[in-house]
Homo-oligomer: A and B are copies of this chain.
Amino acid sequence: MKNSSTPQGDLSAQIAASIRDAIIAGDLIVDARLPSEAELSEQFKVSRPTVREALKRLAAQALIRTQRGATGGAFVNHLKYPDAYDQQITTSTLLLSMNEVSIATACEARFALERACTRLSAERRSPDHLATMRAEMFRQSQPGLSDEAFCASDVAFHRALVDGAQNPVMSYQLAGAVEAMQPLMNMITFTARSREKIVALHGQIADALEAQNAANADDALTELEAYTISLAKDVLDARAHR
């Protein structure tokens, strides 16, 4: 998969890569205990600080966890969905903010991926998911809600839509796409009228999923996509005028 042939970079990077490869290859199974830092420094012929730097690199990716004490050490971590979510969201957010991705491009990707969920979500969504959507819609229609809170509720609504597909892999993949948009959305000032329209479209989506009508949900999502892009465009145009 990768060029593990050419050792590159610092010693700590090489050691981290070596251990990472062992984990991915399955040579180190979940909850297996790595040798102690002292033993690792002997094995790799480096000092303990260098070993520690390598272990911290792995810890940052949630590949290992460490425990102090007599029976402590570094253990191969069971990578759970929340850990993966966090990483994905951080990476996606920075990727969008650093690569001059247009709001149109990001929206296109996000809504296309969300539409990939509608068929499954229409089929499998539980009453819980529908209730979450309605609750978030209610929150969104409260007057006096800050733009940030409105966006956060919007994210929650769409996550409920995605989670309705009852496919954790899909939820994981979509987490980044949905959440990473939030900083971009926060730049938009939502007028009372635009909020009203968005909530109405959310209503159409929720109704369609409740009726298990994926096509209607698709249409509403498409309309929401176009409306979001047009709102963003207005903001950018207004900003250009100043």
The copy count of this chain in the complex is 2
- Please determine whether B95 and A79 come into contact, CB atoms closer than 8 angstroms: yes
| CB 8 Å contact bits of A83-101 with B (1 = contact, 0 = none) | 0101111111111111101
A165 contacts across to B, CB distance below 8 A: 112
Stretch at the interface among A38-46, A59-67, A188-196: A59-67
Partner of A24, one of B16, B80, B81, B90: B90
A81-B95 contact given A16-B60, A116-B115, CB 8 Å threshold:
yes
A156 at the interface (CB under 8 A from B): no
Q: Please, how many residues of chain A have a CB less than 8 angstroms from a CB on the other chain? A: 64
C-alpha gap A70/B89 in the complex (Å): 35
Stretch at the interface among A132-140, A166-174, A204-212: A166-174
A198 contacts across to B, CB distance below 8 A: none
Stretch at the interface among A50-58, A223-231, A232-240: A50-58
C-alpha gap A222/B195 in the complex (Å): 37
- Please determine whether B60 and A96 come into contact, CB atoms closer than 8 angstroms: no
C-alpha gap A52/B99 in the complex (Å): 28
Between A and B, 24 residue pairs with Cβ closer than 8 Å are: A16-B60, A49-B49, A49-B52, A52-B53, A56-B56, A57-B57, A57-B60, A61-B61, A61-B87, A79-B94, A79-B98, A84-B92, A87-B87, A88-B88, A96-B169, A99-B168, A101-B168, A108-B170, A109-B167, A112-B116, A112-B117, A116-B116, A169-B177, A173-B177
